[in-house]
Amino acid sequence: MEGDTKGMNGFMQFIQNKYIYVPLLLWFGIQLFKLIYDLVKTKKFNFKRIIGAGGMPSSHSAVVTSLATLIGKYEGVNTPLFALSFAFAFVVMYDACGVRRAAGKQAALLNKLIETPGLTGVQVSEKLVEVLGHTPFQVLVGALIGVGAGLIV
């Protein structure tokens, strides 16, 4: 019976950890917003919007900046943990609007090439995913949402 109590205490500590639940709730909320926005805009339910990358705002940016903000607020901005989270946030945001955005542009171009009659004999069973990254503005908005959430909690 004592093992059950320790397990339950560990679970409760896990779900009450602001460093875990704030970024996760933020990610879920932003992805849900994207799903609803896409549903209203296209009149089609696209489940990929809840788990997919890309779009406004960047949930990746919101998650990492909320975490860095929480760490800075509660642990201090002069700690190695804050420095690590700060650097991690910038790597993620750079990747979102740099590397992944470029990959999305390449996917769009390849999809056009494959669809051009007579240009290629390549048979493709599905289109490449084009919405992979974010514009710098989408990253900025996501980062501001993340900082705001971290400061509010």
**Token duo for residue 107:** 């996917």
Indicate if the pLDDT at residue 18 is higher than 60. Answer: yes
**How many angstroms separate the CA atoms of 58 and 93, rounded?**
9
CA distances from 91 to 97, 123, 143, 146 (A): 10, 36, 13, 15
Reference 58, options 86, 108, 88, 95; nearest CA is 95
Q: What is the pLDDT of residue 3?
A: 53
Residue-level length of the chain: 153
Indicate if the pLDDT at residue 2 is higher than 60. Answer: no
Indicate if the pLDDT at residue 13 is higher than 70. Answer: yes
What's at 31, amino acid-wise?
Q
In the structure, what pLDDT confidence band is assigned to residue 117 with cuts at 50, 70 and 90? low
Q: What is the pLDDT of residue 122?
A: 61
Q: What is the pLDDT of residue 64?
A: 97
pLDDT single digits (tens) 62-114: 999 999 999 999 999 999 999 999 999 999 998 887 765 666 666 666 666 66
**Token duo for residue 130:** 């084009």
**Residue that is written with structure tokens 């849900």 in the block:** 32
Q: What is the pLDDT of residue 98?
A: 72
pLDDT single digits (tens) 119-148: 555 666 666 555 556 788 999 999 999 999
CA atoms within 13 A of residue 123's CA, in its CB half-sphere: 0
Q: What is the pLDDT of residue 9?
A: 85
Q: What is the pLDDT of residue 107?
A: 67
Query: In the chain, where are the structural domains located?
Result: 18-98+133-152
Q: What is the largest CA-CA distance in the chain?
A: 71
Q: What is the DSSP string of 6-42?
A: HHHHHHHHHHT-HHHHHHHHHHHHHHHHHHHHHHHHH
**How many angstroms separate the CA atoms of 112 and 44, rounded?**
23
Reference 141, options 12, 10, 33, 45; nearest CA is 33
